[in-house]
Amino acid sequence: MAQAFPYTFYSCPCVDTSTPSARVRDKRSSQYSTHTKEEQDRTFDPRKSRSNFSLYPLEHLLYCEDCHQIRCPRCVSEEVITWFCPSCLFEVPSSNIRSDGNRCMRSCYNCPVCTAPMVVNSLDSENERHVRLGEDGEAVQPPGPFYLACPYCQWSTLEIGVEFEKPNNISGQLARLANGGKTVPTLREREKARDKRKEAEELGKKPDEEEDEGTPDEDLPMDHDIRFSNLSAFYKSQLQTDTMGGDYGYGSSSTLSRIMSMYSGSGAKKSKKDRPSAMREAFGSDEGFQVHNRSSEDEIIKRMRQLGWEGTISPEQRQSQIHSDVRFAADLRPVPTLLRTKRAKRCRTCRHILARPETKISSSRYKIKLLALNNIPQISVKALPRQVETSVPGITAPVPFDYNKLQPFMANHFILTIRNPLFDPIHVTLATPAITPGRIQSKVTVLCPEFEVGANTDVWDEALTGPGATQKKSQAPSSTELGASNPATQAEAGKVWERGRNWTSVVLEVVADKAEPADLEGGLDEDEDVLEIPMFVRIEYETDLTDDIKEKDREKGKESGGADGRVKREEAFWCVLGAGRIGALPKLG
């Protein structure tokens, strides 16, 4: 989607990733002194590919009070505060995340077809129409069986033959039910059956018929849970076996003492022992090993031909499943809801907290949120309205400005407004290249590059005292205060255009260059005819000296502030002004 004109993007200092961090620069200041000076003298080019990753609207940026720098999403590090389920709003401990994964283990499931949240319903038709009441007049839980249903696409677990006995603990019941209603043995039952088969193989006996039915077929693909359980049990038994490598066994009790003796004098006198034998790999279905069988792939292809397009699932549905090898609609299972996180953000340089939400799940507030909007001046640009005379003498009307058709080789005037969010007045210095970088070279001139902006005080102060009382004596009157009626003729160099309580407007003059594809080698690139003006903004102000600033300056060995208890601050940053799109040259005749 094309960006609406005009716009303002702020450049983050992390545009040059080759620049070392602050701590490294302090250690190697002599090596990077020349490099840093060259970076300061370099003009920011918004046309470079790297610049696209550092330009953000002011609303998307944070501010570090320790570094006094803008921080973008690349400059911050995130840390998880809490995990929670978005459906039931249940907070999940981090210990459960390591064991159970990042999905809700309660009764929260999403539809595998449309991803909508599913609800638990009863098969009793009477209870679906009327609520059953008890003797005390309270609602009674309807009798089972129950099933999960999607209220959006009407898909339910009845289509895969899965029903539940209770309306709660759906995860535990679903783990023991396969598609078609077949019961899946638990982990303990699988371990007992596996141990019995191993004992029967060691004794040379034939397993019982009931145990033989639970043995997975070598030709059929094993279930993921059964395969993982067998592999886990096999590797645990390998690690616990001490006879595999003698004293060097992976589970040997003397491993710790042997490692400690390596760092003592007594360990060097011992004779060198042989290396332990390598751990063997799994073999057989009981150990979780499965050989690829071509016949299983032939069966899948045959089934796809029989069911057709409607019997298969889309790539999105396949990726949403826990096991991504599902191919048919009959193999779909309800998807557990993914957990969400609340995260805090820290500055990568000084580890200062930039944003920290409340731990309460139902709350969307932030305990700490240092927005750049509250610390960096807001810069906006708009076209200077042109006045034309109407049929009535002495009355003029504004002409609408077309930002998508800037006339080349003609002076276009824009109003540049700087709003101060701080509670202290600031001194602003603007700098922009005389010619914009790139193949299309337009001329830019700031008529008033230095000016003052008032503090962000209470609105009632301006209403009670009046605009004349809040204006400093050193500030020159603006063009509008001098009675500017025609902006094209009254915009003067060295004078601000308009001034308010905490904002000041100046005039920006732009002479656009032509953007003809025939005159450029290789034609016109995408959005190359967009007039983007890089501007360097530098602000200076004095603020009260707080205890935190004193403590930080004391740690750095600096003297904090002056005798009046105030300290000078200076901040600088690059921004890009999107003035519009250059139009075609008017045809003569």
Average pLDDT over every residue of 188-212: 71
- Listed in order, strand segments (DSSP E) in 358-436 are 366-369, 378-383, 386-389, 396-399, 411-419, 426-431
Predicted model pTM: 0.73
Burial of 580: CB neighbours in 10 Å, binned 0-12, 13-18, 19+? buried
Instruction: Tell me the three-class secondary structure of 6-62, residue by residue.
Output: CEEEEECHHHCCCCCCHHHHHHCHHHHHHHHHHHHHCCCCCCCCHHHHCEECHHHCE
Residue of 12, 72, 22 lying closest to 44 (CA atoms):
12
Q: How many CA atoms lie within 13 A of 506 on its CB side?
A: 23
- Residue 213 φ then ψ, to 5°: -70, -35
- Domain annotation covers residue 489: yes
Token pair belonging to 159: 């289509």
CA 19 to mean position of chain CA atoms? 24
Q: Quick check: 275 pLDDT over 70?
A: no
Give residue 458's pLDDT. 74
**Close Cβ partners of 214 (under 8 Å, ≥ 6 residues apart):** 185, 190, 193
CB 79 within 8 A of CB 344: yes
| CA angle, residues 557, 561, 564, in degrees to nearest 5 | 150
* DSSP codes of every residue in 223-263: PHHHHHHHHHHHHHHHHH-STTTGGG-TT-TTHHHHHHHHT
- Domain annotation covers residue 498: yes
CA 265 to mean position of chain CA atoms? 53
- Domain annotation covers residue 572: yes
* DSSP codes of every residue in 322-372: SSTT--BGGG--PEEPBPEEEEEEEETTT--EEEEE-S-TT---EEEE-BG
Give residue 576's pLDDT. 94
Give residue 557's pLDDT. 59
Identity (one letter) of the amino acid at 32? Y
Confidence category of residue 280, pLDDT binned at 50, 70, 90: confident
- Domain annotation covers residue 531: yes
Q: Quick check: 389 pLDDT over 80?
A: no
Q: Quick check: 242 pLDDT over 60?
A: no
Separation between Cα atoms, residue 459 and residue 467, nearest integer Å: 11
Token pair belonging to 569: 């601050």
**Close Cβ partners of 131 (under 8 Å, ≥ 6 residues apart):** 139
Q: Report how far apart, in Å, the C-alpha atoms of 149 and of each of 126, 157, 311, 543 are.
A: 17, 7, 20, 61
- Domain annotation covers residue 425: yes
Residue 445: which domain range? 378-581
Q: Quick check: 246 pLDDT over 60?
A: no
Separation between Cα atoms, residue 523 and residue 115, nearest integer Å: 46
Give residue 379's pLDDT. 95
Q: Report how far apart, in Å, the C-alpha atoms of 118 and of each of 85, 159, 327, 424 are.
A: 14, 14, 22, 55
309-350 pLDDT tens trace: 888 989 898 888 888 788 898 889 999 999 999 999 999 989
3-28 pLDDT tens trace: 788 999 999 988 765 444 555 445 54
Q: Report how far apart, in Å, the C-alpha atoms of 527 and of each of 47, 387, 531 are.
A: 10, 30, 9
Label residues 542-559 b or e (16+ Cβ within 10 Å = b).
beebeeebeeeeeeeeee
Token pair belonging to 124: 């009793």
Average pLDDT over every residue of 76-80: 94
**Close Cβ partners of 413 (under 8 Å, ≥ 6 residues apart):** 383, 384, 487, 488, 491, 507, 508, 509, 510
Confidence category of residue 556, pLDDT binned at 50, 70, 90: low
123-149 pLDDT tens trace: 875 554 445 555 565 666 677 789 999
Q: Give, as one character, the DSSP assignment of residue 278.
A: P
What angle in degrees, to the nearest 10, is found between the helix axes of 187-203 and 224-240? 60
417-475 pLDDT tens trace: 999 999 999 999 999 999 999 888 899 999 999 999 999 987 666 666 555 544 443 45
Secondary structure percentages of the chain, helix, strand, coil, to 5: 30, 25, 45
Give residue 549's pLDDT. 63
Separation between Cα atoms, residue 379 and residue 58, nearest integer Å: 9
The total domain count for the chain is 1
- Domain annotation covers residue 59: no
Instruction: Tell me the three-class secondary structure of 80-112, residue by residue.
Output: EEEEECCCCCCEECHHHHHHHCCECCCCCEECC
Give residue 491's pLDDT. 76
Label residues 382-409 b or e (16+ Cβ within 10 Å = b).
ebbebeeeeeeeeeeeeeebebeebbbe
What's the alpha-carbon Rg for the chain, to the nearest Å? 36
Instruction: For the chain, give the mean pLDDT.
Output: 79
Give residue 118's pLDDT. 94
Looking at 61-70, 285-294, 480-489, which range is the least confident one? 480-489
Residue of 151, 150, 146 lying closest to 162 (CA atoms):
146
CB 382 within 8 A of CB 507: no
Looking at 111-125, 273-287, 432-446, which range is the least confident one? 273-287
Q: Quick check: 253 pLDDT over 60?
A: no
Q: Quick check: 33 pLDDT over 60?
A: no
